[in-house]
Structure 1
């Protein structure tokens, strides 16, 4: 589904949030690979489950044509610095919900990009009558957990010892959801 772009100016940084378009595919592939190497908050290590330019073109096309998917990018000076997706379900019994995911280049943390991608995704989901937005967050990502709670998400469950990180220790994944109506 398409989204009308919005401009933000925070801490002397100007950025735009808009729908992903086909020409973003190469940049998205590079950004995703870089983000995966910058944080352990995500599921993947750098290079795992790699999506190339062709893969992103297909994802963008599918998301644009789907009424239950939203693919947003955050752009600074013509360069993508982060993105988010809401992915719906094809199964009728789960068609009332979407799953949210987000990633931002570390250099751009602290500018409200993740918050604004989340806010726009929530607005889109509510406007399109989705009753539930779900997400998964690593238990150590306190800043994200606080943000999600601020925007109405609640803890639904915990996946114990769900991930093993570079320190060799196991960590829990928190399942969160926001309900609309």
Structure 2
């Protein structure tokens, strides 16, 4: 699905949140690869499950055509600095919900881009008949967990010892959901 472009300014930094287009595919591949190497909050290490330009073109096309998918990008001065997706299911029994995922380049943390992505996704879901948004978050990502709770998400479960990080220790993944009434 396509949504209207919106401008935001936080801490003297202006950015645009808009739907992804096929022209973004190459940059999205590069951003995803970089983000994967900047944080352990995501599922992948740098280079794992790599999506090339063609793969992103296919994702963007699928998300644009599907009423249950949304693919947003954040842009600052013409540079992509992050993206978020809501991915729904074609199965009737699960067509009422979407899964939210987000990544922002580390240099742009602290400008509210992730929060803006989530608010835009919540608004989109609320106005398009989506009944539930789910997400998963690493137990150590306390800032994200607080944000999700503030925006109406509740813990629905915990996957124990779900991820092994670079320190050799195992960490839990928290499953959260927000139900629209």
Aligned residues: 181
Instruction: Give the structure 2 partner of residue 34 of structure 1.
Output: 34
- SS in structure 2 opposite 1:80? strand
Structure 1 position 64, deviation (Å): 0.3
Runs of 4+ in 1 over 6 A off after TM superposition: none
TM-score, normalised by the number of residues in structure 1: 1.00
Deviation at 1:129, TM superposition (A): 1.1
Task: Tell me the CA shift for residue 62 of structure 1.
Answer: 0.6
Provide the TM-score with structure 2 as the length reference.
Answer: 1.00
Aligned to 1:129: 129
1:138 aligned onto 2:145: no
1:114 match: 114
Query: Which residue does the alignment assign to 1:166?
Result: 166
Structure 1 stretches of 5 or more lacking a match?
none
What is the RMSD computed on CA atoms of the aligned residues?
0.4
Shift of 1:93: 0.4
SS in 1 for 2:166: coil
Partner of 2:3: 3
- Aligned pairs for 1:7-22 (under 5 A) are 7-22=7-22
